[in-house]
Structure 1
Amino acid sequence: MYAIGLGENKDEILKAVEKLEEEGIDIELIRDPKRLVDKLIRGEIEGAVRGSLPSSKVIPYLKSKIGKFYRTSILKNPFTGDIFLLSPVGIDDISEEEEERVKDKIKIINLASNFLRSVGIEPKVALLSGGRLGDLGRSKTVDRTILEAELVLNHIKKKNKNLEIDHRGILIEEYLKEGYNIIIPMDGISGNLIFRCLALVCRVSGCGAIILSEKNVKFIDTSRNADWRRYYNAIKFLHDLNVKNGKLTKY
């Protein structure tokens, strides 16, 4: 049994549930944010999707129950057809203070890499910054993002020599063409914009944003503006994690 939050955008949620139940996957619709989280934490359901419940109600309550976590969008690479992870994508997912923000990015890379390896995918990490590397010196804001990415790059290379990681500035298109599967934006705002442009404007297929933390919590965050396919994909993704031994459906 899985659960989806039912708030706004009800028609899209109900359409997804109808498709899932046709495939024999049992779904409970939950209107109360706290009840959705509590049932997941108590183990009464195998996984939960925020659905169309408001993020401002669900996410703070989930944090109060499991502590720090990072939302990591699962999207289909338009060049390769494989999935990739994009994080951070929440406007408050990482710190605004530079030293702590660097630590957050390192934690995201480690958690995302472990997650991909758990489903049989070798991670390739791409660090984004605000311009091309040759733009250093043109803008203090861009300089800060480039230097910050270099700090993260150097730390990871020292601590995890076996992890493929690169920093090429703003060139997200190059990373995706070459099959990089963990994309780390400058911050949660830029990550949220990338997600919205790809998923909600360009209709790139995806499964929502899985929660990555030190605890094993099967929860996927979804936009209230998504269509039924994204809610459907989110449950299918959780279902794959539970029953298919790490073999993921092609979304």
Structure 2
Amino acid sequence: MITMYAIGLGEENKKEILKAYNKLKEEGIDVELIDNPKDLVDKLLSKELKGAVRGSLSSSKVIPYLREKIGKFYRASILKNPFTNNIFLLSPVGIDDISENKEERIKDKIKIIELSSKFLKSYNIVPKVALLSGGRLTDLGRNKIVDETIYEAEKILEYFKGKFNIIHKGILIEEYLKDDCNIIIGIDGISGNLIFRCLGLICKVPGYGAVILSDKNINFIDTSRNANWMRYYNAVKFLAGESFDLFKK
């Protein structure tokens, strides 16, 4: 028997996982709980599942195993823009999603932009890309690390010149969101993860979890172990075809 969807059930946050599971079952959605990281991935890749959500399983156990099976991928959190009520993608959000090497990191960000744009276009959303760096553009010369992030963003901006609607205003994430940018590219996975935690877990900005950005079609949503039940529920509903309709209710 094929189960349509599954949520990973780890040792942490079981109450929130069970709340999401029960709500989904009440709505007639075929979902199961899986407590083994490899089983979750293997069942998804063998087509025993139509979609899977990491739930509260450990990222350090699920993500490396998924990479072992499908190769390189990135993650992009789907969040609701608090200024416009539209969705936006935030990436990278995994601490090991992009390279530590400068040149490879730029290539990773270029790939993230291309895959994120493809994802949005599949939902008939026109991509509008924003590049984050470590300070205002007028801060050049104050800090060597900040300077490097600005130069890096400018290189990516130049690469996409004339190809995408893409802007770089430095650290001003609030201005990007007010301008309704729907792809926010963080400095690295650490800062991206921190932005997600501040918005999603502290400020309670609604979201669907993080989609897998890959050349392969993988119906997997990455979620935080510290999320509330709505984030797990939203992730399964997204996989089940709700698209972004939950944000409109």
User: What TM-score comes out, normalization by structure 2 length?
Assistant: 0.96
DSSP 3-state at the match of 1:214: coil
Percent identity, please. 71
Q: How far is the alpha carbon of 1:18 from its aligned partner?
A: 1.0
1:70 touches 1:93 (CA, 8 Å); kept in 2? yes
Give the drift of 1:248: 2.8
- Residue in structure 2 matched with residue 166 of structure 1 by the alignment: 167
Query: Which residue matches 1:9?
Result: 13
1:250 CA drift (Å): 3.3
For residues 187 and 227 of structure 1, the distance between their equivalents in structure 2, rounded to whole angstroms, comes to: 25
Work out the CA distance in 2 between the residues paired with 1:116 and 1:51. Answer: 24
Query: Structure 1: where are the runs of 5+ without partners?
Result: none
- Structure-1 separation of matches of 2:94 and 2:244: 25
**What SS class does the counterpart of residue 100 from structure 1 fall into?**
helix
Distance in 1 (alpha carbons) for counterparts of 2:42 and 2:115? 24
Query: Following superposition, which runs of at least 4 residues in structure 1 exceed 2 angstroms of deviation?
Result: none
Deviation, 1:156, is 1.3
Q: Is the counterpart of residue 250 in structure 1 residue 246 in structure 2? A: yes
Whether the aligned pair in 2 keeps the contact of 1:211 and 1:219 (CA below 8 Å) is yes
Q: How big is the shift at 1:67?
A: 0.3
Counterpart of 2:179 in structure 1 is 178
The alignment of Structure 1 onto Structure 2 pairs a total of residues equal to: 243
Note if 1:46 corresponds to 2:46: no
Corresponding residue of 2:35:
31
Say which SS state the counterpart of residue 101 (structure 1) adopts. Answer: helix
TM-score (norm. length: structure 1) = 0.95
Spell out the pairing of 1:61-140 with structure 2 (5 A cutoff): 61-140=65-144
Given that 1:124 and 1:165 are in contact with CA atoms closer than 8 Å, whether structure 2 keeps it comes out as yes
CA distance in 2, matches of 1:199, 1:248: 16
> In the alignment, which residue of structure 1 is the partner of 2:196?
195
Q: Is the 8 A contact 1:48 1:220 kept in 2?
A: yes
The two structures, once aligned, show a CA RMSD in angstroms of 0.9
Does the 8 Å contact 1:87/1:183 carry over to 2? yes
Contact 2:87 2:244 in 1 (8 A): no
2:228 corresponds to 1:239: no
What one-letter code is carried by the residue in structure 2 that aligns with 1:198?
A: L
